[in-house]
A and B are shown apart, each in its own frame.
Chain A
Amino acid sequence: MSTSCSILSGGLPGYILVAFLLFIVGLGTVLVRRSILVQFMGVELMLNAANVALLAFARFRGGDAQGTVFYLFIIAVAACEAAVGLALVVGLYRHRNSTDTDRADALKL
């Protein structure tokens, strides 16, 4: 009872739950969808789930800078990663004429 209360009452577990759900959704997207663009969005969701968790911990530790700095770093890294990733997406499309990752399975025995 108290657990569900604390989740809904804006405590730390609530944020962690949101972050967890966000991560699961991202993971599910990567695993279930075949379009590389959508899988890419799933990856972004997972990154942002981590961001949410970082910010929540930072706030509940007393507002120290560590978590916030990490969040900023991740935003920056994610931006770079998006640039590289999208370039790969374009490259894949040029080779295969599709964005279906299941068709890009040449790398096997």
Chain B
Amino acid sequence: MQKVAWLIPILPLLGSAFHGLLGRKLGKGAVTVVALGCMLASLVLAAFAFTAVAAAPGRRLDLVCAEWIGVGTLRVPFGLVFDSLSSVMALVITGIGTLIHLYSVGYMWEEEGYARYFCYLNLFVFFMLTLVLGSSLPLLFVGWEGVGLCSYLLIGYYFDTEVACSAGLKAFLYNRVGDLGMTMGMMALFAAFGTLTVGGILTQAGRLAPEAGFGVLTFATLMMFVGATGKSAQIPLYLWLPDAMAGPTPVSALIHAATMVTAGIYLICRLAPLFLLTPITLTVVAWVGGTTALFAAVIGLFQRDIKKVLAYSTVSQLGYMFLGLGSAGFAAGFLHLFTHAWFKALLFLGAGSVITGMHHQQDLFRMGGLRAKMPVTFWTMVIATLCIMGFPGTSGFFSKDEILFLAFQKSPVLYAMGLVGAACTAFYMWRLMALAFWGEPRDAHAYEHAHESPATMTAPLVVLAVGALLAGLLGLPKIWGGSFAIEGWLEPALSFGRQGAAQVAEPGGPALAWGLMALSTTVALVAGFTGFRLYRNGPAGEEAFQGRHPGLYRLLSNKFYVDELVEACLLAPARWGGHCLWKACDVILIDGIGVNLPGALTRVGGDLAAQVQTGRVRNYALSMAIGAVLLLWIFLR
């Protein structure tokens, strides 16, 4: 096992190199076989690694290949770590990754850059696995930057459109802001612990007293969280994710819903013992998460683009995960990551199926009545919608309720925010479903040509739907007769030998749990039903609402004008400053005084000297004679 575990990340890298170097020559068939082949092989190996981890003492396998960086006291090994956390993540990445690769075969078959697409997608899987499996923070950071790069490349996949290019750039720049925080956090951790391997840091952190968490540790964890907000699209760095929808839809499903954007949650889970030492950071995480969950859900209410609704939904769900983490429920946050990966990937893939079926129509107001035309897409999306709204018994129900329960322990205000967010979630999801699948077709032409997607696209939908339904069983709560299994499974990774660190006190007992569960379920069901009722017959209700509250509607559909605010407060001054520097430094100083002034002097001097050159033989002869006389005078003097 130890020998071949390296292949888990390496196989997709080889696949990527194959597509990039040979893909265009060998054609789509070869690309498809290689892309799916290395994903499947990776998945099988990851499954083996998972069983090996389950059998290993302490559920942890360290694989060290060589020393990577050795400078002074800084020693960074080149190694992978399989523990209960990373092996599950590896399974999610390769499993859902394989399904989305399969779906992409159908979705991208007609595209010009088929090989390029799979080159990027396989490269993404490689970097994501590096991020997850890397045994040290620098190696994790390599993956962290790599997935950002792949995200940029794939958002800008349609690089001949301006929207895609600027969206890719935006994603990259927002991520850079977060990455700066991450780098500073790493430096602070190195200063505090003198090592950068995750194991080393956590072992030392385990020996610290609980009061030791203030000062440098708080700073380090806060900076790590800044990195997480960038990658996982939390306030204030969430703005790139909705724009990232310019990429192909399977990319949105894999990168911007299921895996990459959860890297921030993974990072915090990875360093959970450290975050437990810093209650201030945890509180910040909880409040940022809760605010984002509510804020993004409210923005999602009135979006017309089907992918934008899902994008804000993703931001909101990531907010829930952070809310869970911030409430010290690392297992609950991770469970939501796990269930969300299934149902949000499913939602995006379903949306992609609708979009292809409707000939690249993304406007919900132009859809309608697709229920009969696309039965598989319809039913799988119904399942995903039930999951995300928290319908009792589905995966989203268990994970979200656990988070809300923990948030209530942290602060009832956070719980209320989560509850309202959940209501909004149910509302916008049923609005989306009703607008797309019920009612009269509002674009008769597109409706006539609408058709169910090919089997390569519907098969992943079905598998994901089954997964979405069952994923919650990992987190069956105690009051439902389960044991919240995922917490027990993750315990070694989350506590890292610190006794009782990851144990969450559960005051209030089952009565409180039942009460909160009933309340949130009722709220979600009512909101969902309201959304469905209002939009069942088309968007007329929304237009009426727009007529009654034009200001509110404009505020919501324009996403609270946050983009415009950033433009006015940050980008415009930066651009103005750049303009001034350009005019003052570049044009005047460098171009003018540095380059053009010597040039002009040389030219004037040359013009003056050129006056001597008359072209007349007699003048030359005269100057020659004068010269000769002068020489004679000098030598014979």
Contacts and interface: CB of A to CB of B under 8 A. Distances in A.
Interface in A41-79: none
Interface string A8-24: 00000000000000000
Interface in B86-120: none
Contact of B616 (A27, A32, A101): A101
A103 B614 CA distance: 11
B618 A107 contact: no
B604 to A, nearest CB: 14
Contacts of A34: 618
Contacts of B618: 30-32, 34, 39, 101-102
A108 B620 CA distance: 12
Interface residues of B, number: 10
B617 interface: yes
A27 B625 contact: yes
A87 interface: no
Nearest to A104: B617
Given A30-B621, A31-B621, A109 B613 contact: yes
Contacts of B625: 27, 31
A106 interface: yes
Contacts of B500: none
B634 interface: no
Contacts of B610: 108-109
Contacts of B613: 108-109
B323 to A, nearest CB: 80
A107 B613 CA distance: 8
Contacts of A32: 618
Contacts of B616: 101-102, 105
Contacts of A27: 625
Nearest to A106: B615
25 contacts: A27-B625, A30-B618, A31-B618, A31-B621, A31-B625, A34-B618, A39-B617, A39-B618, A101-B616, A101-B617, A101-B618, A102-B616, A102-B618, A104-B615, A104-B617, A105-B614, A105-B615, A105-B616, A107-B615, A108-B610, A108-B613, A108-B614, A108-B615, A109-B610, A109-B613
Interface of A: 27, 30-32, 34, 39, 101-102, 104-109
Given A31-B621, A39-B617, A105-B615, 9 more contacts: A27-B625, A30-B618, A31-B618, A101-B617, A102-B618, A104-B615, A104-B617, A105-B616, A107-B615
Interface of B: 610, 613-618, 621-622, 625
